[in-house]
């Protein structure tokens, strides 16, 4: 394990170095189209090393995108082997750290999960921001976690359901006269009920949502309850319901819409009043390969790896310079793109950490009542 201190480099210079090392781009497919895939032939010496880094991920399509955009090129360019281990879980981090048997060097979690654990103990290492590129926005940085992707909870609807009309707000979603048909919303099992949507439907301005008025949100839900034919529990359900015409409108995680649209299903995302959420990296306290972990965290949030990830799966980059390498037609699908970002509400992790148990208990009681 290499725990030697590393020298500080100028992060903008690092980006310039990477950019200068670009090879001719190759072609990668997404949603039936082709786009330039940015290659890189070098990384700053400060990120090179030996040994390995063990990364706990959530598996599935997300890990496949990480493998292509992050893991394989990081191994090739730095000499550090990546061991990807699906099954990321904050409870496992807690148990590992408390027993001293830390099997992961990096874990993929929301910053909210990291902050929640840190409330009860010392479970994560401080991120080494001397390695991190300046293009990563301040809103994505915290002391013990560095966010690396942006996703969004949004509305999706069938284009052929309303005679050419298009819903543009949660008030429209709740308006069953103007936009008739069955709806679906996130239900039992949700750690974060969609209270923000219910409140905006009730007329609460986006900039006045927090602190959330849970009782007012439940009263708003009551107004649409009879039109909600499905309270979904897994991310795969909303796009399938749209495909099968089981519903005309639903809430959905934006990344789930790409495959549906590629198949030609007439369905569209309404970005307005969606809620932007973020996932990132944490380094468990006592990680055996801490130095390598910090190098990987820094590498994965550089502009070109971020761009490649966004080209692999429709989640937004946290490094603003990544958009230099992403074609406009792909940028239009990404929650952190400037034109989309301004339509979204930023999820308030602090409020949810403090009030999650209360909010979930009230929501479940209402839904089952």
Same domain, 141 and 184: no
Please compute, for residue 190, the number of CA atoms within 13 A of its CA located in the half-sphere on the CB side.
Answer: 24
Q: Range of 46's domain?
A: 11-150+278-337
69 and 302 Cβ atoms separated by less than 8 Å: no
pLDDT on residue 206: 95
3-state secondary structure of 11: helix
Q: How many other C-beta atoms can be found within 10 angstroms of the C-beta atom of residue 360? A: 18
What span, in angstroms and rounded, lies between the C-alpha atoms of 70 and 73?
A: 6
The mean of the pLDDT values for the chain is 89
The pLDDT tens digits for 127-147 are 999 999 999 999 999 999 999
Same domain, 170 and 181: yes
Same domain, 263 and 195: yes
Selection from 48, 47, 46, 65 nearest residue 57 by Cα:
65
Query: Which CATH number belongs to the domain containing residue 257 in this structure?
Result: 3.40.190.10
Same domain, 286 and 262: no
When pLDDT is cut at 50, 70 and 90, the band that residue 188 belongs to is confident
The phi, psi pair for 195, rounded to 5°, reads: -65, -35
334 and 254 Cβ atoms separated by less than 8 Å: no
The pLDDT tens digits for 60-117 are 888 999 999 999 999 999 999 999 998 999 999 999 999 999 999 999 999 889 998 9
Same domain, 146 and 242: no
Q: Does the residue 269 lie in any domain? A: yes
Domain count, the chain: 2
Same domain, 190 and 326: no
pLDDT on residue 327: 95
Residue 36 has pLDDT above 90, yes or no: no
Q: Does the residue 146 lie in any domain? A: yes
Please compute, for residue 123, the number of CA atoms within 13 A of its CA located in the half-sphere on the CB side.
Answer: 26
Phi-psi sector, 189: left (phi>0), alpha (psi -120 to 50), beta = left
What span, in angstroms and rounded, lies between the C-alpha atoms of 279 and 108?
A: 7
Q: What percent of the chain has pLDDT over 70?
A: 91
Sign of CA dihedral 314, 317, 322, 328: positive
Helix (H) or strand (E) holding 57: strand 52-57
Same domain, 20 and 70: yes
Helix (H) or strand (E) holding 240: helix 237-243
The pLDDT tens digits for 201-260 are 999 999 999 999 999 999 999 999 999 999 999 888 999 999 999 999 999 999 889 888
Prediction pTM value = 0.85
341 or 369, which is more confident: 341
């Amino acid at each position: 394990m290499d725990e030697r201190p590393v020298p500080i480099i100028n992060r903008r210079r690092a980006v310039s170095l990477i950019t200068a090392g670009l090879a001719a781009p190759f072609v990668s497919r997404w949603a039936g189209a082709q786009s330039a895939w940015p290659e890189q032939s070098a990384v700053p010496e400060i990120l090179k090393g030996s040994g390995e880094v063990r990364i706990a991920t959530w598996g599935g399509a997300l890990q496949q995108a990480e493998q292509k955009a992050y893991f394989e090129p990081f191994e090739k360019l730095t000499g550090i082997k990546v061991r990807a281990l699906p099954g990321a879980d904050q409870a496992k981090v807690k148990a590992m750290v408390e027993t001293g048997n830390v099997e992961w060097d990096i874990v993929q979690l929301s910053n909210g999960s990291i902050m929640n654990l840190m409330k009860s103990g010392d479970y994560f290492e401080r991120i080494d921001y001397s390695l991190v590129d300046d293009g990563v926005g301040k809103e994505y940085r915290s002391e013990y976690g560095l966010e690396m992707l942006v996703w969004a909870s949004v509305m999706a609807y069938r284009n052929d359901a309303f005679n050419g009309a298009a819903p543009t707000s949660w008030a429209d979603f709740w308006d069953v006269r103007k936009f008739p048909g069955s709806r679906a919303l996130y239900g039992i099992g949700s750690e974060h009920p969609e209270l923000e949507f219910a409140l905006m439907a009730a007329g609460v301005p986006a900039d006045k949502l927090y602190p959330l008025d849970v009782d007012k949100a439940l009263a708003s839900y009551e107004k649409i309850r009879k039109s909600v034919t499905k309270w979904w529990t897994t991310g795969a359900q909303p796009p399938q319901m749209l495909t099968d015409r089981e519903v005309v409108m639903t809430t959905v995680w934006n990344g789930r819409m790409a495959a549906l649209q590629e198949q030609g299903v007439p369905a569209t995302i309404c970005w307005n009043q969606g809620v932007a959420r973020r996932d990132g990296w944490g380094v468990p306290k006592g990680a055996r390969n801490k130095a390598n972990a910090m190098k990987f965290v820094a590498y994965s949030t550089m502009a070109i790896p971020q761009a490649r990830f966004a080209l692999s799966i429709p989640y937004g980059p946290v490094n603003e310079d990544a958009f230099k390498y992403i074609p406009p037609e792909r940028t239009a699908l990404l929650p952190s793109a400037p034109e989309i970002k301004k339509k979204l509400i930023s999820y308030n992790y602090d409020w949810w950490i403090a009030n999650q148990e209360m909010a979930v208990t009230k929501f479940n009681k209402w839904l089952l009542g």
